[in-house]
Structure 1
Amino acid sequence: MIVTTATIVPIQPETATGVAKDLLDQVQKGLGLVPNMTKVMANSPALLKGYLALSAAVGSGSLPAAVRERLAISTAQLNGCEYCLSAHTYIGSNIAKVDAVELDAARRAESSDPHVAALLRLSNAIAENAGDVGDDAIGAARAAGVTDTEIGEVVANLALNILTNYFNVLANVENDWPVVGL
């Protein structure tokens, strides 16, 4: 087993000061806990503030939590982020109440719901092609009933998920969720 250490050391809420403390207090108040990812992000208050703002924005959109969690799982699998795969599998199961079969299918950008499957495939196509998806990908999504609003929200969710995936992989954030291996 290879043991790695964090690239960026987490800031503990009890020793945080200034803006970092305020942001970690906000996380605690909102979630009832402070995940390791946000402790590490607190080294850059601008990053943590941006993450929290984007997370709140996508959370207020039209895509339900069950869909957003599957989008996060699909992107985490694509980007090799075990932290996010673990976190969103836990949240998807325990908070969004998505069944285990659907959570596992999301890892492959699949769903038994054709509309959700279209959203997952579109998200992966956007990620894999840096946004340069052809008319076929958009046409397939539209044929499954995906709206312009949802297309925009897929991009917003993808931006949020790539942000956390890349950050967690780069910083080697210690996984504080029940581990789901890649």
Structure 2
Amino acid sequence: MSRVALLTADSVDAPRAALLGEIQAGFGALPNMFRAVAHSESALRQMWSSFGALGQGRLDARLGEQIAVAIANRNGCGYCLAAHTALGRKAGASAADMRAAQTGDSEDARTAAALRFALAVVEKRGSVDDSEVEALRAAGFDDGELVEIVGHIALNLFTNYVNLVLDVPLDFPAVELRKAA
């Protein structure tokens, strides 16, 4: 059970109702995570605008969702794991792709490099080595894409923490957490 009430557009003021309406239109439903975050207009605006900004970035949606799944699995966030697995499938990833991403793996070398880097950033709290940045560049990522990966990491840490702290109930099909091999 959620540690906060799950709000709706009918239960909040006009600015938050408008944001919730945008979110519902974007997803075709109103995910519980946003309903929980709606207690704070600024946090809701931050979260939604971050999704929008990164969605217009140079990294494709599939890679963004694979990064999200790797971070969610690492942080034990079942909500984000479920949501981003479903979104990754919509973005063209196979079930096997999303399952592999949970532990930072991919058959595609470029994707694998991004996932390894993202997990290193999370594990090391940002204090990665020069060699880890160089490995990302060697896989074909430029400085702009490096910064976008960091943006995806930051957004996913935010959503993981929101869902874990607030104990947001799943409204996506559950996905089993995996341990790294």
Q: TM-score, normalised by structure 1?
A: 0.94
Question: Does 2:146 align with 1:145?
Answer: no
- Give SS of 2:125's match: coil
For residues 25 and 111 of structure 2, the distance between their equivalents in structure 1, rounded to whole angstroms, comes to 31
Q: Secondary structure at the match of 1:163?
A: helix
1:57 alignment partner in structure 2: 53
- Structure 2 distance, partners of 1:71, 1:21, is 30
1:130 is aligned to 2:125: yes
Q: Which runs of 4+ in 1 moved over 6 A?
A: none
Alignment of 1:26-41 (within 5 A): 26-41=22-37
Partner secondary structure for residue 14 of structure 1? helix
Matched residues, percent identical? Answer: 37
**d(CA) in 2 for partners of 1:177 and 1:16?**
24
Count the aligned residue pairs. Answer: 177
Matching residue's letter, 1:54: S
Cα-to-partner distance string for 1:124-182 (whole Å, 9 max, x where unaligned): 11111111100111121122112111110110000110000000000000100001122
Q: Tell me the distance in 2 between the aligned counterparts of 1:146 and 1:12.
A: 40
Query: Superposed, which structure 2 residues align to 1:49-128 within 5 Å?
Result: 49-93=45-89, 95-128=90-123
Which consecutive residues of structure 2, in runs of 5 or more, have no partner in the other structure?
Answer: none
Q: TM-score, normalised by structure 2?
A: 0.94
Deviations 1:75-132 (A, max 9, x none): 1001110000000111111x10201111111001111010010011111111111111
Contact 2:73–2:81 at 8 Å: present in 1 too?
yes
How far apart in 1 are the matches of 2:170 and 2:27?
17
Contact 1:118 1:146 in 2 (8 A): no
Deviation by residue 1:11-48 (Cα, 9 ceiling, x = unmatched): 12333322221111111222221100000110011100
CA contact (8 A) 1:125 1:133 kept: yes
SS at match of 1:175: coil
Output the CA distance in 2 between the equivalents of 1:15 and 1:142: 47
Q: Per the alignment, in what secondary structure is the counterpart of residue 112 of structure 1? A: coil
- Mind listing any 5+ residue stretches in structure 1 that lack a counterpart? none
Instruction: State the secondary structure of the residue aligned to 2:149.
Output: helix
The 8 Å contact of residues 20 and 42 in structure 1, kept in 2 or not, is answered as yes
Matched with 1:7 is: 3
SS of the residue 2:156 aligns to: helix
Q: Which amino acid is the alignment partner of residue 134 of structure 2?
A: G
The 1-side partners of 2:21 and 2:8 are apart by 11
Distance 1:143 1:25 in 2: 42
Q: Whole-Å Cα distance in 1 between the matches of residues 176 and 168 of structure 2?
A: 15
